[in-house]
Amino acid sequence: MSNYHIKHLEEYFKVYRKSIREPEVFWEEIAEEHFLWRKKWDKVLDWDFSKPEVKWFQGAKLNVTENCIDRHLSTKADKTAILFEPNNPDEPAEHISYKQLSERVNQFANVLKEHGIKKGDRVCIYVPMIPELAISLLACARIGAIHSVVFAGFSSTALATRINDSDCKMVITADGSFRGKKSIDLKGIVDEALESCPGVENVLVAKRTKADIQMKEGRDKWLQPLLGNASKECNPEIMDAEDPLFILYTSGSTGKPKGMVHTTAGYMVYTAYTFKNAFQYRENDVYWCTADIGWITGHSYIVYGPLANGATTVLFEGVPSYPDFGRFWDIIQKHKINQFYTAPTAIRALAKHGAELLDNYDLTSLKVLGSVGEPINEEAWHWYNDNVGKGKSPIIDSWWQTETGGIMITPIPYVTPTKPTYATLPFIGIQPAIMDENGGELKGNQVEGRLCIKFPWPSIARTIWGNHQRYKETYFSTYKDMYFTGDGALRDEVGYYRITGRVDDVIIVSGHNLGTAPIEDAINEHPAIAESAIVGFPHDIKGSALYGYITLKDSGEYRNHDNLEKEINQLITDRIGPIAKLDKIQFTEGLPKTRSGKIMRRILRKIACNEMDNLGDTSTLLNPEIVQRIIDHKL
């Protein structure tokens, strides 16, 4: 394990330099030493960003679950792999050992096989944060099926779109989910979605809430009895390094979500290596990431990265506010959490309820605090550092994306000195570039522009499912031979990076990545609405919230606005999910447009953010008079 843990800053620089000068030698050593291969690769890296094409460890054969489970059995059979903390604190936590995980994954994999699932088939997973969720991912990986997890807060329409986009044959779900005091009828949502998904043959239903649900004869089956009858042995499917491991959807600048495809070997190597170093995970630590497995954070840093390291990873079903706002601290105390990874929006929500609450809990087990999903503002950073970490646990503000598969820019705790609001230095192997708007690289320090990555890393998404052209246009066409992240960034006087936020049509609300186009499409379905434009504006808890400018078809006569607002938000809830609801809706007679008819969102964004003195030149607009009218009626 010589070069697996970075121990001090000089070592970071040394290893970083090597990873840049000789990336193939570097990653080959990591791959050789720390993983189980059925056959080694013929070539470490093959790449061409102009196609774009990236292949890591070509020719190698492996199974990710052998690396995440089987190889730990000789030394860690009884160690807790997954520690499940239920929504209700009175329900006992469940410790699933590596041996039990192995058995449960194999049983699940056998059930999938009995239902005709084979290597390469797509399986949609729409399951709340219960052990079956993590186990279902691994069961797919065991037999080479490609999982496509859809966050169990998405609506039936959003679910159906994703099921159909990748032709999933099967859906795995649960009777319902617990979220604080509420329970949600997940199976009902699945039933509704499946009315428009002819390709789905079977639905496996985990029992959780015991809600009274409809089971469709021949299609739907209860999962637990099937698992009970299945064998605990299941030979792993031997996969090629570049076989797809999973698809995960993310929003983009058109209405259709992008199914990002991650492949087997590179994803495994990178998530495992980043997990170990970015969290300084040591044997016997208990690690907790509060994300949902429905997002990439959960895939990489609840399931694959931790398990590949034989770690204990906590899976929490509930919400930070139930039964009260001390729940996170209660869990940290109860399970003696060592590494805690959460989102700025959660920190802000908890900060609002006061630091006094923390005095009731023993948080001395904490060694590392993580932040992810959106820029962390200075106030939240200090609150986290002072009250949760007591100034002793470094905060790793880790920047990355669904597309990058793993952490890209982050301090390494106890190695990289932290700086509030800065993600600091690139991780080993990552070559960031800051670009100006004309395509030139801004070299040196103290520059600000758009963030690109110059060289492939092992866990970069390889394509968009079914649409390689869109992959190329979205990520590799803005700047020649570079991966464009869609984020703005600056590099300070010592070379530290600060992410300044999205520069495209994506808005991050409570750490969730939302495209404006799908929201506008949903709104425009309303018969009374002519046009809409969504922009983000600052919100003290969500980070950003959504502001909608909406024009009605019959602009002279507005109908009852209160009702209309409700109908708009209902449409958004139905088409996407409640996370995409608008905080503010302004009805207006028109939207500012360029002469070619494009909506000038930049102006609308500035108005929503109260930056009226800085609107720029509006005289070239098709309808410059509308700007003042929008300002006059601003909410």
The first and second tokens of residue 201, run together, are: 């043959």
DSSP H helices, 230-385, are: 264-278, 296-298, 305-308, 327-335, 344-352, 378-383
> Which residues contact ligand WT7 by CB under 6 A?
250, 295-297, 371-375, 397-402, 423, 485-487, 499, 502, 508, 513
44 versus 508: smaller Cβ distance to ligand WT7: 508
The first and second tokens of residue 374, run together, are: 């959106």
Q: Are 511 and 477 in contact (CB under 8 A)?
A: no
Residue with tokens 């990236």: 54
C-beta of 446: minimal distance to ligand WT7 in Å?
A: 19
C-beta of 77: minimal distance to ligand WT7 in Å?
A: 32
Q: How far apart are CA 124 and CA 132, in angstroms?
A: 13
423 versus 579: smaller Cβ distance to ligand WT7: 423
Q: Are 369 and 376 in contact (CB under 8 A)?
A: no
Q: Are 402 and 260 in contact (CB under 8 A)?
A: yes
Which of the 8 DSSP states describes residue 396?
A: E
DSSP H helices, 279-322, are: 296-298, 305-308
C-beta of 136: minimal distance to ligand WT7 in Å?
A: 21
C-beta of 350: minimal distance to ligand WT7 in Å?
A: 18
- Integer CA distances (angstroms), 52 to 225, 465, 519, in order: 46, 14, 29
* Burial class, 123, CB count within 10 angstroms (exposed 0-12 / middle 13-18 / buried 19+): buried
C-beta of 451: minimal distance to ligand WT7 in Å?
A: 8
Q: Are 460 and 483 in contact (CB under 8 A)?
A: yes
Q: Are 340 and 366 in contact (CB under 8 A)?
A: yes
C-beta of 346: minimal distance to ligand WT7 in Å?
A: 13
442 versus 503: smaller Cβ distance to ligand WT7: 503
Residue with tokens 């949760």: 388
C-beta of 142: minimal distance to ligand WT7 in Å?
A: 25
423 versus 433: smaller Cβ distance to ligand WT7: 423
The first and second tokens of residue 129, run together, are: 């944060």
The first and second tokens of residue 235, run together, are: 């030979």
C-beta of 57: minimal distance to ligand WT7 in Å?
A: 24
C-beta of 105: minimal distance to ligand WT7 in Å?
A: 25
159: Cβ–Cβ under 8 A, 6 or more apart, which residues? Answer: 124, 126, 150, 189, 190, 193
62 versus 396: smaller Cβ distance to ligand WT7: 396
264 versus 410: smaller Cβ distance to ligand WT7: 410
132 versus 487: smaller Cβ distance to ligand WT7: 487
Q: How far apart are CA 111 and CA 109, in angstroms?
A: 5
Q: Are 193 and 157 in contact (CB under 8 A)?
A: yes
68 versus 296: smaller Cβ distance to ligand WT7: 296
Q: Are strands 244-250 and 447-453 parallel, antiparallel or unpaired?
A: unpaired
378 versus 613: smaller Cβ distance to ligand WT7: 378
Q: Are 337 and 312 in contact (CB under 8 A)?
A: no
183 versus 401: smaller Cβ distance to ligand WT7: 401
244 versus 375: smaller Cβ distance to ligand WT7: 375
C-beta of 373: minimal distance to ligand WT7 in Å?
A: 4
Q: Coil, strand, or helix at residue 491?
A: strand
C-beta of 152: minimal distance to ligand WT7 in Å?
A: 16
The first and second tokens of residue 630, run together, are: 């929008």
